Amino acid sequence: MPNESILSAEDVRLYYRTRRGTVKAVDRVSFKLKRGETLAIVGESGSGKSSLSRAIIRLLPRNVYAYDGKIFLNGTDIMKLSKEEFRKQVRWRKISMVFQGALNSLNPVIKVGDQIAEPLILHMRMDKNEASKKARNSLKQVGIDETFADRYPFELSGGMRQRVVIAMALITNPDIVILDEPTSALDVITQANIMNMLKILKKEKSLTYIIITHDIALASELADRVATMYAGQIVEIASAEEFYSNPKHPYTQKLMKSVPTLRGDKELESIPGSPPNLINPPNGCRFHPRCEYAMEICSRKEPPFFGDEDHPVKCWLYR
């Protein structure tokens, strides 16, 4: 069944409780992901991208106010699993994640090989020797000589540390890997090398990726489909071909125009107005205060998705 959904989210919410009110970081998000496909999630800082991935892999902070919706993994609703079942059956084994900024949070006093082996010992209850053998092997897979297993993180370049955290996410043999800003801390050459590696690994291990990035150009290195997130919601999803040639949501269009080019004197367009407050998001369409096409209905009523199934857009213009 090549076209089955490996993962599908329906109306997922993740709200946080704070002193000033409820932060609606993920607000009724739905999407489908086919096996072997890569979905990129783009959107501005604070729009809820990392929160959405935390919701999928169920690693939540303490101040959760609401966490619900349905998430089907191979047809089973994993939101119904208990904490223990989720940990045993899903997290790391089926879905794993490379966290934003992870390359800087490697433990400085533990050897790289031991850190890679840790998830196996911790989550898979593997014995130490076997885990350590596997760790060396997985270093090779991410293009690092296995002798580096005995080194400490500071002896590795930023690019190598990023490869190490990717190795940690792959070692449990998951089907789905969430990559949260996997290269935003790296220079463009190292970035390109890592993207090449991710492309090769994807093929070899038939992985399904969700890549979160604020960099639209970088997203095109992996994405089969792209989703735009704005103020806690997905507002557009399309195939990469459609997304880059025919972006529909006014926010996505602005995002495209703000990509800087090296030469040329293009004045960069930034998006007017300030990012929405997620405690009190604007009524109606959340983008309406900043949208140049806003109509009367936009401030009054939240738009549903319009357009065909392959390219839904949450905007009244496409009514």
Partner 1 sequence: MIKMILLEVKDLKKYFPIKKGIFGGKTYYVRAVDEISFDLDKGEAVSLVGESGSGKTTLGKTILRLYRPTGGKLIFDGKDITNLAPKKLKWYRRETGLVQQDPFGAMPPHFTIYRILEEPLIVNKIGDKEERREIVHKILEEVQLPPEEFTFKYPHMLSGGQLQRIAIARAIILEPKLVIADEPVSMLDASVRVDVLNIFRRIQEKYKMSTVYITHDLSTTRYFSEKIFIMYAGHVVERASTQEILNHPSHPYTQALFEAIPNPDPKNRFKLREVPPGEPPSLINPPKGCRFRPRCPIATEKCEREPPEVEISPNHFVKCWYPQ
Ligand X SMILES: Nc1ncnc2c1ncn2[C@@H]1O[C@H](COP(=O)(O)OP(=O)(O)OP(=O)(O)O)[C@@H](O)[C@H]1O
Based on DSSP, count helices (H) and strands (E) in the chain, helices before strands: 9, 10
Q: Which residue is at the shortest CB distance from ligand X? A: 158
In one letter, which amino acid is 314? K
> Of residues 2, 3, 45, 308, which one binds partner 1 by CB under 8 A?
45
Stretch that binds partner 1, among 44-52, 74-82, 129-137, 301-309 (CB under 8 A): 44-52
**Smallest distance, Mg ion to C-beta of residue 187, A:** 10
Quick one: 77 or 187, whose CB is closer to partner 1? Answer: 187
Give the C-alpha distances (Å, rounded to integers) separating 153 from 25, 30, 145: 33, 38, 14
Stretch that binds ligand X, among 78-86, 119-127, 150-158, 282-290 (CB under 6 A): 150-158
Applying the rule CB under 8 A, the residues between 226 and 255 that interact with partner 1 are 239-241, 243-245, 254-255
Applying the rule CB under 6 A, the residues between 182 and 241 that interact with ligand X are 214
Would residue 181 be called left, alpha or beta, if left means φ above 0 and alpha means ψ between -120 and 50 degrees? left
Burial 213-240 (b: 16+ CB within 10 A, else e): bbebebbebbbbbbbbbbbbbbbbbbeb
Task: Using the structure block, give the residue that is written with the tokens 């930023």.
Answer: 158
Q: Is 48 in the site for ligand X (CB under 6 A)?
A: yes
Q: Is 282 in the site for ligand X (CB under 6 A)?
A: no
Backbone angles phi, psi at 229, to 5 degrees: -110, 135
Task: Using the structure block, give the residue that is written with the tokens 């970081």.
Answer: 25
- Cα 161 from Cα 2, distance rounded (Å): 34
Q: Which two tokens stand for residue 97?
A: 């994640």
Q: Using CB under 6 A, count the residues that bind ligand X.
A: 19
Quick one: 52 or 167, whose CB is closer to ligand X? Answer: 52
Q: Is 107 in the site for partner 1 (CB under 8 A)?
A: no
**Smallest distance, Mg ion to C-beta of residue 181, A:** 6
Which strand (E) or helix (H) includes residue 20?
none
Applying the rule CB under 5 A, the residues between 182 and 211 that interact with Mg ion are none
Stretch that binds partner 1, among 80-88, 118-126, 211-219, 291-299 (CB under 8 A): 211-219
Binding site for ligand X (CB under 6 A): 16, 18, 23, 25, 45-51, 61, 63, 100, 154, 157-158, 214, 278
